[in-house]
Amino acid sequence: MLTKPDKNWLKNNFITNEDAKNFASPSDLKALEDRIDKRLDEKLDEKIKFLPTKDDFYEKMDQVMGELKTVRESQELHAGQHAEIRDEIDKLKKAVNSTN
């Protein structure tokens, strides 16, 4: 048999009919989910609207890679010119030293 303290404990720890009436129904939860999804989509659209498209990104990357290739080729030519100048300086030093 349930004692009065047992009944009070049950009343305090389990849902009552009145509590159940205040809970959201499945349709309420679905409506809330739809509102949240819509708001998240709006926020996401707002945040990504300034990002470039994939085509824009690849076009820009092609330009950057073309410029990088040009710089590397220029660097190689410049290094070759330095080697030629060093060789010429070494020859001139040898010529000057041999005449002294």
Report d(CA 71, CA 63) in Å as an integer.
12
Contact (CB, 8 A) for 20 and 28: no
The structure tokens listed for 91 are 């020859």
Q: What is the pLDDT of residue 25?
A: 87
Please give the pLDDT value at position 2: 87
Per-residue pLDDT of the chain (100 residues; tens, 9 = 90+): 889 999 999 888 888 888 888 888 889 999 999 999 999 999 999 999 999 999 999 999 999 999 999 999 999 999 989 999 999 999 999 989 887 6
Q: How is residue 58 written in tokens? A: 């690849």
pLDDT of residue 11: 85
pLDDT in the model for residue 22: 83
